[in-house]
Amino acid sequence: MLPAMAPTRDAVAGPRTGPPPAQTVAAPAVDETDPAGLLRLGLAFCESKALLSAVELGVFDALHETGSSDVDELVARLGLHPRAAGTFLDLLVRLGLLTRAAGRYANGPGAARHLVRGNGSPVRELLDRANRMHYAAWGGLADALRTGGRRPEADYSVMPRDPQRLRRFLNLMDALTTAIGPLLAEAVDWAAVRRVADVGGGRGHLLSYVLTAHPHLSGVVFDLPHNAGPFAEYVAARGLGDRMTFQPGDFFADPLPAADALIFGHVLHDWSPRRRAVLVRRAYDALADGGLLVVYEGLLGADAGEERLPRHPATREEQPDVSGDPVAALDMLLFGEGSSEYTERECRQLLGGAGFELLAVRPLGERDTLVVARKP
């Protein structure tokens, strides 16, 4: 699940959001006798931007509502200039996103499943964010590589001033944890836990899965005060108002909730290694002996012998471990606001260094790793 990285003020001020939108793909075959592969790679941004623009313009939403439309109908509905609209739509057909029959366009199966707003797929939210932030940031990649590209850590203080942005952010968080919630409910042994706190738990989406699966649990979401309203709406809608509470606070400054288990989900990677260590120490201090710390994160380079990318020998020590997803790692390193993805090994060290005893490290869904630790 990627980070906020645009060089614009908007993106710079925004917080991290979990795993990156981009997925590493196998290295394309570049045949020295045929430069087509190189050209395709070099110009891939055109097709990428066509998809992102179609999402931005609401092409897939419009076609979802109408079933099918001709170019004039789409021009009118989406407020497009007619000059290039037909060519643009035909490009989307060629990319396999739309179908066209008798001059009428419709969503292809992949678009219908993943690109229509509100259909529950995280892909739409990720592409939305990629368009607003990552695209512009990657446009400045060469500069970021020259300068090191570091930016300040996440700044969540922008959220209360921009309700639309907050809503978009919460939607994205929920989309990313929809797949994780049921898995996390299963993967952890909650039998000895009575009260669980999701620290940085947003409006409670993830925690609602855990509580629904385990009726003996009660829960508290600890998050910044601006999430109190969205939380209240959310738990009322899920019918969990009597089992889940919201504790507003700053996890760097305020006492963490008293609970038998604390969750940090997609939270630690928002911060620099130093601040991550602060959070883990605070969790250790907040838990009673035997208490659980549950971390899920898109950790890089699991220790299970994944192939490592070659490193430049001269800077070996400074290189991040990017064995998991180099696109995500670059994105996070250069544009991730001082936050950084980190490796499974670092996570083990982080928790072990604070005094935790590791109980389990295992994959959680397609992108995340679950780490469960206990305060001895």
Ligand X SMILES: C[S@@+](CC[C@H](N)C(=O)[O-])C[C@H]1O[C@@H](n2cnc3c(N)ncnc32)[C@H](O)[C@@H]1O
Query: Given the rule CB under 6 A, which residues bind ligand X?
Result: 16-18, 156, 173, 176-177, 200-202, 206, 223-224, 227, 250-252, 265-267, 270
- Give the pair of three-digit tokens for residue 97: 């996103």
Round to whole Å and give the CA distance between 292 and 190: 9
The amino acid present at 242, given as its one-letter code, is: D
Minimum distance of ligand X from residue 306's CB (angstroms): 24
* Cβ-based nearer residue to ligand X, 45 or 252: 252
* Cβ-based nearer residue to ligand X, 60 or 251: 251
Find out whether 232 and 207 touch, Cβ atoms under 8 Å: no
Q: How far is CA 153 from CA 147, 164, 221, 269, in A?
A: 17, 21, 22, 10
Of these residues, 64, 205, 266, 269, which one is catalytic?
269
Minimum distance of ligand X from residue 210's CB (angstroms): 12
β-partners of residue 219 are: 196, 244
Nearest to 267, CA basis, from 195, 375, 128, 173: 173
Residue nearest to ligand X (CB): 200
DSSP state of 133: I
The backbone torsions φ and ψ at residue 375, rounded to the nearest 5 degrees and listed phi first, read -80, 120
Minimum distance of ligand X from residue 214's CB (angstroms): 18
* Cβ-based nearer residue to ligand X, 190 or 251: 251
Minimum distance of ligand X from residue 112's CB (angstroms): 26
Round to whole Å and give the CA distance between 16 and 263: 17
* Cβ-based nearer residue to ligand X, 137 or 279: 279
> What is the CA 311 to chain-centroid distance, rounded?
27
Nearest to 184, CA basis, from 101, 272, 266, 119: 266
Minimum distance of ligand X from residue 17's CB (angstroms): 5
**Does residue 114 have an active-site annotation?**
no
Q: How far is CA 189 from CA 37, 206, 221, 372, in A?
A: 49, 16, 20, 10
* Cβ-based nearer residue to ligand X, 201 or 257: 201
Nearest to 251, CA basis, from 264, 232, 261, 260: 264
Question: Which residues are catalytically annotated?
Answer: 269
